[in-house]
A and B are shown apart, each in its own frame.
Chain A
Amino acid sequence: MSSEKTTERQFPSSMRFLHWLMAALVLAMLCIGVSMVASLADYHTLVSIHRPLGTLILILVVIRFVNRLLSNVPPLPPDFPSRERLVAAASEVLLYTLLFVIPLVGWAMLSAAGYPIVLFGSVHLFHILPRNLMLYAFLRKTHTILAYLLFIAFVAHFSAVLFHTWVMRDGLFERMAPWRVRAR
Chain B
Amino acid sequence: MEREVAKPSAGTTIVRMGAIGIIVLAVVGVFLSLGAWFSPHKLTPARFTDAFQEINGVHPGFRRNHGKGVDVTGFFDSNGQGARLSKAQVFTGGRFAVIGRFSLGSGQPYVADAPDTARGLGLLFRLPDGEEWRTAMVNLPVFVVTGPQGFYDLMMASRPDPATGKPDPGKMAAFFGSHPETVQAFNVIKSHPISSGFENSTFNSLNAFRFIDANGNSTPVRWSLVPLQPFAPVAAAGADQGDKNYLFDALIASIHQHPLQWRLLITVGQPGDPTDNATVPWPEGREQVDVGTLTLDQIESDDTGVAREINFDPLILPAGISPSDDPLLSARSAVYSQSFTRRAGEAKEPSAVTPSEVQK
**Besides the contacts A41-B331, A163-B17, what 4 more A-B pairs have beta carbons closer than 8 Å?**
A43-B337, A138-B345, A151-B31, A158-B27
How many residues of B sit at the interface, in one of the four size bands?
A: 35 or more
Interface residues of A (CB under 8 A from B): 30-31, 34-35, 37-45, 47, 113-116, 118, 121-122, 124, 126, 131, 133-134, 136-138, 140-141, 151, 155, 158-159, 162-163, 166-167, 169-171, 184
Q: Report the separation of the CA atoms of residues A113 and B338 in the bound assembly, to the nearest whole angstrom.
A: 12
B310-354 with Cβ < 8 A to chain A: 310-311, 315-316, 318-319, 323, 327, 329-331, 333-335, 337, 340-341, 343-346
Contact B31 A43 (CB under 8 A): no
Given contact pairs A166-B20, A184-B1, A45 touches B330 in the complex (Cβ within 8 A): yes
Whether B344 contacts A137 by the Cβ 8 Å rule is yes
CB contact under 8 A between A38 and B17, given known A44-B315, A155-B27, A167-B8: no
10 tightest A-B contacts by CB?
A137-B345, A43-B334, A38-B36, A34-B35, A122-B319, A133-B344, A44-B330, A40-B331, A137-B344, A184-B1
How many angstroms from the CA of A31 to the CA of B28 in the assembled complex?
A: 11
B344 near A43 with CB under 8 A, answer no
Question: Closest CB of chain B to A101's CB: distance in Å?
Answer: 20
Of the candidates A37, A124, A136, the one whose C-beta lies within 8 Å of that of B35 is A37
Residue of A nearest to B315 (CB): A44
- Residue pairs across A and B with CB atoms within 8 Å: the count is 120
- Could you write out 24 A-B pairs with CB less than 8 Å apart? A31-B31, A37-B35, A37-B46, A39-B45, A40-B45, A40-B148, A42-B330, A44-B330, A113-B340, A113-B344, A114-B309, A114-B310, A115-B311, A116-B132, A122-B319, A133-B309, A133-B344, A134-B344, A155-B28, A166-B19, A167-B8, A167-B13, A167-B17, A169-B8
What residues of chain B have their CB less than 8 Å away from a CB belonging to chain A?
1, 3, 5, 7-8, 13, 16-17, 19-20, 23-24, 27-28, 31-32, 34-36, 42-46, 48, 129-132, 148, 309-311, 315-316, 318-319, 323, 327, 329-331, 333-335, 337, 340-341, 343-346
